[in-house]
């Protein structure tokens, strides 16, 4: 039986921007190997698979090479699709059971709001040997068990950066966020995200990275709610809110393609 798979651009209100995700809503779980093969075939940074479970859906995310524990844009895309297909009424709360616990999504005006766990970073020493590979010296560097976060001196430096991504990965910087306070009016922060450790050289827009950026910049700027732009080639906008142990991510999504996979 063919499987319906939808291509949805997340953290944007127009097609061919933001971060594309594949979303597949299933009635029964597929074998892990098949889901990984589908994700590799789609070749997006993430493909999401949903199966009804309890009061919501079991949600899993696959890059072209591996399954991951948390993904923001494919969760936004999944919620968008459930509302679009009428599987959830407009005022419902989408409930996703994931490797990172229960995640929820709801419609707030034109946006969908995701409720995610915060991911706090702690100060660390940036390895001096990697500065030539990055192409600049961070003004501040922090890490946690997953992310490496490098604050740079300006928005323009973030936008112009051209790091040696594969070499950085080999030296332990395979989940790298670069960020700066924004000079562009209407924005608070900008970022770019390089995740070669999971098969993604540069991710277009990364909700999970903003779970680290929200508490980091909230403390620095003295603001709870921030307007963020991820300055990849496609680019995407988010409103992020630091709520202590949780982070709220708000953005839009648009369906650009519906296809059938024959297995």
The CA-to-CA distance between both ends of the chain, in Å, stands at 7
SS3 content of the chain, % helix, strand, coil (to 5): 25, 40, 35
Catalytic (active site) residue 41? no
Q: Are 230 and 193 in contact (CB under 8 A)?
A: yes
Spot the catalytic one: 33, 41, 46, 239.
Answer: 46
Q: Are 112 and 207 in contact (CB under 8 A)?
A: no
Q: Are 200 and 45 in contact (CB under 8 A)?
A: yes
- CA gap 170, 112 in Å, rounded: 36
- Helices 207-221, 73-84: axis angle to 10 degrees equals 110
Answer positive or negative: Cα dihedral of 83, 84, 85, 90: positive
Please name which of 217, 227, 177, 216 lies closest in space to residue 200, comparing C-alpha atoms.
177
**What is the DSSP annotation of 35-53?**
HHHHHHHH-SSEEEEEEEE
Query: Six-digit token pair at 62?
Result: 């696959």
Which amino acids are annotated catalytic? 46
């Amino acid at each position: 039986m063919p499987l319906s798979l939808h291509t949805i651009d997340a953290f944007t209100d127009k097609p061919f921007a933001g971060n594309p995700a594949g979303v597949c809503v299933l009635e029964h779980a597929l074998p892990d190997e098949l889901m990984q093969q589908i994700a590799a075939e789609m070749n997006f940074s993430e493909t999401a698979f949903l199966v009804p479970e309890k009061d919501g859906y079991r949600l899993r995310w696959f890059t072209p090479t591996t399954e991951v524990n948390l993904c923001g844009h494919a969760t936004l895309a999944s919620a968008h699709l459930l509302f679009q297909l009428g599987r959830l009424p407009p005022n419902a709360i989408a409930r996703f059971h994931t490797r990172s616990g229960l995640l929820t999504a709801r419609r707030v005006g034109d946006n969908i709001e995701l409720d995610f766990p915060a991911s706090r970073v702690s100060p660390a020493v940036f390895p001096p040997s990697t500065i030539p590979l990055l192409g600049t010296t961070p003004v501040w560097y922090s890490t946690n068990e997953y992310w490496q976060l490098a604050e740079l001196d300006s928005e323009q430096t973030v936008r112009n950066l051209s790091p040696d991504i594969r070499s950085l990965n080999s030296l332990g910087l395979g989940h790298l966020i670069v960020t700066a306070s924004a000079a562009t009016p209407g924005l608070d922060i900008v970022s770019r995200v390089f995740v070669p450790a999971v098969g993604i050289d540069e991710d277009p827009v990364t909700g999970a990275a903003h779970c680290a950026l929200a508490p980091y910049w909230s403390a620095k700027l003295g603001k709870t709610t921030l307007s963020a732009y991820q300055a990849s080639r496609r680019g995407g906008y988010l409103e992020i809110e630091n709520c202590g142990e949780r982070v709220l991510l708000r953005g839009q999504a648009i369906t650009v393609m519906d296809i059938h996979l024959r297995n």
